[in-house]
């Protein structure tokens, strides 16, 4: 397949470029370094400095003999994106080129506007480029479990049948996000659903939970191929943060009482899900939605696991409960369905002690680079 990966410099984007090229596909990755620049601006750069895209491509070629093409460009520029589709004629496009952080979107009005502009215009442009150049090309888009929020009913995979006053119909599952970032993901889904109905596009929208991990099969040959591993409050996801905090002897930052439950997955499972979605595409005129999670945990569960494994490895780990800077339910029901990707062939990796210990071993090599000041600054929702 010819695969176009938008957001190729990101935490998922770069590993996905290598993964797809390793499977023998032709890959072109595009990124405008939005996240790199935001990290620099907020002084919260990843734990290990990442070579730029051109260098990563070269290191990957030297290590694997495989070619990935890379381009620096902003896909909110429609002419640039359309030109890419015309030149490369992809069979599938993965859209990861979004501002991915909930806290970033809540810092101030400017950052909220950047999030809305970047996320919605990029999605709009992808829909247009596909329609105008090759409506058969599947769009695979990363959404978020946060679109559903934490309703007091079971969460279905994308759709729900509703019976109302004796009549029935199928609708998108009700969504209510708890950050502006998550709200843009709802709006993305609405945009794509509109264009699927109107233009008959084929789309897979993946409702992903927080991802953890630093290594994939492809990063084993050279540490410089590792994804950008953020552990700061703005761009780091919670489990990655906790591992770094444990190593830095920083009390684990459990927000509120820590009963918030989310569905988590390892980076290597995220790659599998994206790849399966690409290679087993949705039909024309179908918006296919999967819940991309493997296991559910409360924040407290994660903190306890990190403490146990950290202490086994000789670290002194304490857990702090800090006033929740976010507006989110702490005690809530959570029962999401997640069978679609398993049916497609996902081989899940669970959060074992060994998996956590491996994360500790990779992170501790860089313990001297940890910027303690980036761990918690208190971006508040109100
Ligand atoms: N949390 C803590 N302490 C921390 C950081 C987070 O208790 O130091 C809590 C949060 O309050 C939340 C949970 O951990 O309840 C998850 O937080 P997170 O920062 O790992 O994840 P979130 O902000 O929800 O966003 C991340 C990714 C985002 C993706 C989303 C999936 O950054 O791109 O869409 O996970 S989901 O959470 O399912 O919506």
How many other β-carbons are positioned within 10 Å of the β-carbon of residue 148? 23
- Please tell me which residue in 185, 216, 237, 275 is annotated as part of the active site: 185
C-alpha torsion sign, points 20, 21, 25, 30: positive
Residue 144 is among the residues annotated as catalytic for this protein: yes
Domain contains 176 = yes
Q: Tell me the sheet residues that pair with 208.
A: 144, 292
Question: Which atom of ligand 1 approaches the CA of 210 most closely?
Answer: 35
Domain count, the chain: 1
231 with 376: CB under 8 angstroms?
no
3-state secondary structure 241-269: HHHHHHHCCCCEEEECCCCCEEEEEEHHH
Q: Which domain holds residue 181?
A: 2-374
ipTM beyond cut 0.90: yes
pLDDT digits (tens, 9 = 90+) for 132-164: 999 999 999 999 999 999 999 999 999 999 999
Task: Indicate if ligand 1 lies below 6 Å from the C-beta of 119.
Answer: no
d(CA 294, CA 134): 33
- Please tell me which residue in 11, 104, 148, 181 is annotated as part of the active site: 181
Domain contains 382 = no
Domain contains 226 = yes
What are the backbone dihedrals phi and psi of residue 145, each rounded to the nearest 5 degrees, phi first? -60, -25
Q: 355 C-alpha to center of ligand 1: Å?
A: 20
Domain contains 9 = yes
Residue 189 is among the residues annotated as catalytic for this protein: no
Q: Residue 339 contacts by C-beta under 8 Å, 6 or more apart in sequence?
A: 157
CATH of the domain at 346: 3.40.50.720
Domain contains 379 = no
| Tens digit of each residue's pLDDT, the chain (382 residues) | 999 999 999 999 999 999 999 999 999 999 999 999 999 999 999 999 999 999 999 999 999 999 999 999 999 999 999 999 999 999 999 999 999 999 999 999 999 999 999 999 999 999 999 999 999 999 999 999 999 999 999 999 999 999 999 999 999 999 999 999 999 999 999 999 999 999 999 999 999 999 999 999 999 989 999 999 999 999 999 999 999 999 999 999 999 999 999 999 999 999 999 999 999 999 999 999 999 999 999 999 999 999 999 999 999 999 999 999 999 999 999 999 999 999 999 999 999 999 999 999 999 999 999 999 999 999 999 9
Q: Residue 285 contacts by C-beta under 8 Å, 6 or more apart in sequence?
A: 196, 197, 200, 201, 202
Q: For 367, which DSSP code?
A: G
Residue 329 is among the residues annotated as catalytic for this protein: no
pLDDT digits (tens, 9 = 90+) for 89-115: 999 999 999 999 999 999 999 999 999
170 with 316: CB under 8 angstroms?
no
What are the backbone dihedrals phi and psi of residue 29, each rounded to the nearest 5 degrees, phi first? -115, 140
- Does an H or E element contain 288, and which? strand 287-292
Domain contains 381 = no
**Ligand 1 binding pocket mutation candidate from 262, 296, 300 (most atoms within 8 A of CB):** 262
Domain contains 138 = yes
Q: Residue 94 contacts by C-beta under 8 Å, 6 or more apart in sequence?
A: 3, 4, 5, 6, 7, 13, 16, 140, 141, 142, 274, 278
Q: 235 C-alpha to center of ligand 1: Å?
A: 9
CA distance readout (Å), 93 to 123, 126, 137, 292:
11, 8, 7, 18
Question: Which atom of ligand 1 approaches the CA of 103 most closely?
Answer: 23
Token look-up 């491509």 returns 57
Domain contains 201 = yes
């Amino acid at each position: 397949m010819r695969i176009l990966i938008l957001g190729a410099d990101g935490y998922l984007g770069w590993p996905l470029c290598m993964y797809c090229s390793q499977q023998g596909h032709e890959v072109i990755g595009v990124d405008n370094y939005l996240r790199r620049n935001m990290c620099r601006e907020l002084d919260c750069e990843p734990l290990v400095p990442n070579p730029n895209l051109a260098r990563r491509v070269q290191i990957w070629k030297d290590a694997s003999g495989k070619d990935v093409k890379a381009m620096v460009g902003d896909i909110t520029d429609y002419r640039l994106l359309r030109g890419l589709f015309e030149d490369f004629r992809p069979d599938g496009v993965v859209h990861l080129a979004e501002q991915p952080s909930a806290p970033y979107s809540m810092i101030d009005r400017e950052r909220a506007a950047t999030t809305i502009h970047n996320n919605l215009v990029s999605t709009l442009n992808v829909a247009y480029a596909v329609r105008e150049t090759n409506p058969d090309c599947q769009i695979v888009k990363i959404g978020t479990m946060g679109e559903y929020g934490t309703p007091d009913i079971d969460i279905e995979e994308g759709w729900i049948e509703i019976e109302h006053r004796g009549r029935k119909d199928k609708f998108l599952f009700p969504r209510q996000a708890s950050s502006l970032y998550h709200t843009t993901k709802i709006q993305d889904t609405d945009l794509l659903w509109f264009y699927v109905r109107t233009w008959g596009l084929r789309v897979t929208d993946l409702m992903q939970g927080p991802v953890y991990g630093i290594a994939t099969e492809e990063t084993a040959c050279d540490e410089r191929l590792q994804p950008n591993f953020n552990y700061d409050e703005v761009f780091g996801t919670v489990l990655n943060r906790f591992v770094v905090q444990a190593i830095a002897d920083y009390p684990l930052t459990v927000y509120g009482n820590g009963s918030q439950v989310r569905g988590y997955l390892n980076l290597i499972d995220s790659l599998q899900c994206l790849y399966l979605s690409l290679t087993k595409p949705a039909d024309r005129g179908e918006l296919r939605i999967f819940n991309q999670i493997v296991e559910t945990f409360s924040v407290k569960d994660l903190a306890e696991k990190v403490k146990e494994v950290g202490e086994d490895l000789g670290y002194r780990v304490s857990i702090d409960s800090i006033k929740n800077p976010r507006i989110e339910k702490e005690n809530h029901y959570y029962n999401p369905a997640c069978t679609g990707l398993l049916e497609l062939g996902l081989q899940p990796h669970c959060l074992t002690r060994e998996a956590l210990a491996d994360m500790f071993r990779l992170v501790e090599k860089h313990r001297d680079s940890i910027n303690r000041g980036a761990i918690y600054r208190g971006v508040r929702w109100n």
